[in-house]
Amino acid sequence: MNDKMQNLTDDRQGQLPIEFVIVMGITVVLLFPLIMGLMNSNELNQAMSASRAGALQGALYDGLAIYPDDAYRDYIIKHPRLVNPSGVKITKIYYSKEGFNQSYQKTKIQLKIHASAPSVIDESDRNCLGDRINYYARKKICESFHTQNLTNSVFNPAFSDNYVFTTADVCWE
């Protein structure tokens, strides 16, 4: 009787590790794509957060009329309204996926920034403000992912590990 009980116990002990290995293997196979998707989602969230910070920085510099020397000299001649403080606010930022870019071997994302500056009415002045907002948004993305060496002096396009970012003209409200 003891021998029969011993054989039953041995059979059960042998099956448990095999079943456990099968369940764990299936779990790993199912979780791997989920983890990869979450990592890509995290990367996109990090890039959007960086672009928001950069756009806000650009809007702040525009609002306070803080510019590099060469831009300031140009603005005194061509855009005198911009050398005085103005209230520039970022109202919305969103992105659209534009598919896989063969040139960069990354998914292309285009950022669209909406801003408001009631005191700046001239369209060419708004274009200058928008260019600076877009510049800082792209710059922050590059700084966030340490990819400044992969792009040009105006950070266009900006890169992360799996994405390439461009900006559309700022929409003024």
Annotated domain spans of the chain:
44-172
User: Would you state the pLDDT for residue 39?
Assistant: 67
Q: What is the pLDDT of residue 134?
A: 96
Give which of 120, 147, 135, 158 is closest to 55, Cα–Cα.
135
pLDDT at 86: 86
Rounded to whole angstroms, how far apart are CA atoms 120 and 126? 7
What fold does the segment set 44-172 form as a domain? GMP Synthetase; Chain A, domain 3 (3.30.300)
Q: What is the pLDDT of residue 89?
A: 94
Per-residue pLDDT of the chain (173 residues; tens, 9 = 90+): 555 555 555 555 555 677 777 888 888 888 777 777 666 678 899 999 999 999 999 999 988 888 888 888 988 999 998 888 888 999 999 999 999 999 999 999 999 999 999 989 999 999 999 999 999 999 999 999 999 998 888 899 999 989 999 999 999 98
Q: Which residues on adjacent β-strands are paired with residue 111?
A: 95, 167
CB 116 within 8 A of CB 173: yes
The predicted pLDDT at position 67 comes to 85
What is the three-state SS of the chain? Answer: CHHHHHHHHHHHHHHHHHHHHHHHHHHHHHHHHHHHHHHHHHHHHHHHHHHHHHHHHHHHHHHHCCCCHHHHHHHHHHCHHHHCCCCCEEEEEEEEEEEEECCCCEEEEEEEEEEECCCCCCHHHHHHHHHHHHHHHHHHHHHHHCCHHHCCCCCCCEECCCEEEEECCCEEC
- Taking the C-alpha atoms of residue 126 and residue 110, their distance in angstroms, rounded to an integer, is 20
In terms of pTM, does the model score above 0.85? no
CA distance linking residue 23 with residue 75, whole number of Å: 67
C-beta of residue 108 within 8 angstroms of C-beta of residue 166: yes
